[in-house]
Amino acid sequence: MTRPVPLNPHPDRLFPPDPAVRSIARRIYGQIEALPILSPHGHVDARILLDDEPFADPASLLVTPDHYVTRLLHASGVPLAELGVAQGRLSEGQARTAWRALCSNWSVFRGTPVRSWFDTELSAIFGVTERPSAENADALYDQIAECLRDQSFRPRALYRRFNLDVLATTDDPADDLAAHAALRADPAWAGRVIPTFRPDRYLEAARPDWTSALAALSNAADIDTGSYAGYLQALASRRRFFLANGATSSDHSHLDVRTEPLEPAQADRIYRAALAGTASLAESTAFRRHMLFEMARMATEDGLVMTLHPAIRRDHHGPTAAVYGSDTGHDIPIRAEFTRSLQPLLERFGTAAGFQLVLFTTDETVFSREIAPLAGFYPSVYAGAPWWFLDSPEAIRRYRSAVTEIAGFSRTSGFVDDTRAFCSIPARHDLARRVDAGYLAGLVADHRLDEDEAVDTARAMVLDNPRKAFKL
């Protein structure tokens, strides 16, 4: 039996190692450490805050739903089933098995942000003081399970403890947003949970579930989607419904961001063909690119901010998707292109009053080549924060290094956690704040910025930029 190793996240973690730069970083971070968290894009379910039930167990809370965690364990040889993925509600035995798999494979997370988040999360939220291992897995399970039984670990209590100011969910256009409405109506609830309009599947006529999606849309909007005109009206109507329920943005994730408007008659023709099941793949793709343009047009009318998250090959491993479903760790990036793809959209709406577009990528090459140059000219364009595979210390540094010299800080969106893992939210934002403080400290240390400017910028990154970019 090996002696337990202390888990004790250092107060200076993630700051640059040079003592002079570190001192500056510490001072900057000190000014932003305690600011509230704005989370304008993510995947937490509003219902957990409405219901405010205790979380089930450590694995269901921290392992099973988080594909950041399960993917690397899967790569290390642990079957997804053993991690509880797609197993429904876990028995205690199942939950302990999943938790043990995490602790026994703790070493595979070395150098990853998952490890950094866990260090912060386990220590700051659950009071864990030992590095997880095969030996202490059960004891840590017990300790966290004990916490979860306490009132102070209920979702609403954690929302307050996390100092969340706003939390955005991601929702289907046909969703009735009942949980959001009920939350707002609850006098005991003082937080702010807002929906996000995510219409991807309604724009992709080639999807097998497209017609059933249209039926749901028609039903939700109470508008006949049997015609192209009705379809547009139904989408516009649901956007207004989302706005009325607090939404400030729509989110779009397709294979590319090409935006090519069709003539209305042509769009109408393809729409009818798609309904009849006779549209070709090329036609469906053309229709989707047309509709992304239409989403922008609607945005100029209703004011929803448009966020783009493209260039991911979803469900790369079919057999895994067949057994375990989507979002199980094998969505793999491909090359992204923005300059040509967005030109029709930006040509038309790029300087339109109130129109806003936030560009995210998992292809780092576009940061300096395309996104920053676009955000550095168009008043509508914001360079989105590093996303998904890139929301990690060194990737954030690369992003700041690539984007700042071209577009400054003011044209960036502020950090987006984009997570399903509720308890990781403060750790993720804290990591981003530390890394940004370190980056700004570097600019002060090499005399490119005065320290008062660095502090002002750091605060803006946390509060002003997300508020502006997402119209919060």
Taking CB under 8 A as the criterion, which residues in 440-459 touch a copy of itself? 442-443, 445-450, 452-453, 456-457
User: How many residues make contact with a copy of itself (CB under 8 A)?
Assistant: 95
Nearer to a copy of itself, 215 or 334 (CB): 334
Nearer to a copy of itself, 187 or 318 (CB): 318
CB of 305 to a copy of itself, least distance (A): 16
Dmax of the chain from CA atoms? 74
Q: Which stretch binds a copy of itself (CB under 8 A): 57-65, 121-129, 166-174, 393-401?
A: 393-401
Nearer to a copy of itself, 176 or 405 (CB): 405
CB of 421 to a copy of itself, least distance (A): 17
Taking CB under 8 A as the criterion, which residues in 34-73 touch a copy of itself? 71-72
346 binds a copy of itself (CB under 8 A): yes
157 binds a copy of itself (CB under 8 A): no
Taking CB under 8 A as the criterion, which residues in 353-392 touch a copy of itself? 362-365, 368-370, 372-379, 381, 389-390, 392
Nearer to a copy of itself, 18 or 209 (CB): 18
**Which of residues 30, 111, 264, 354 is near a copy of itself by CB under 8 A?**
111
Partners of residue 171 on adjacent β-strands:
197
129 binds a copy of itself (CB under 8 A): no
Q: Return the structure tokens found at 285.
A: 């793709």
Query: If 0-12 CB within 10 Å is exposed, 13-18 middle and 19+ buried, where does residue 200 land?
Result: middle
Nearest Cα residue to 256 out of 180, 344, 184: 344
4 binds a copy of itself (CB under 8 A): no
CB of 360 to a copy of itself, least distance (A): 14
Long-range contacts of 340-348 (CB under 8 A, 24+ apart): 340/258, 341/256, 341/257, 341/258, 341/259, 342/257, 342/259, 342/374, 344/259, 344/260, 344/261, 344/293, 345/259, 345/292, 345/293, 345/296, 346/374, 346/378, 346/380, 346/381, 348/261, 348/293, 348/296, 348/297
Nearest Cα residue to 225 out of 174, 295, 259, 176: 174
131 binds a copy of itself (CB under 8 A): yes
CB of 363 to a copy of itself, least distance (A): 5
3 binds a copy of itself (CB under 8 A): no
3-state secondary structure of 308: strand
411 binds a copy of itself (CB under 8 A): yes
Torsion angle in degrees (nearest 10) through CA of 75, 76, 82, 84? -50
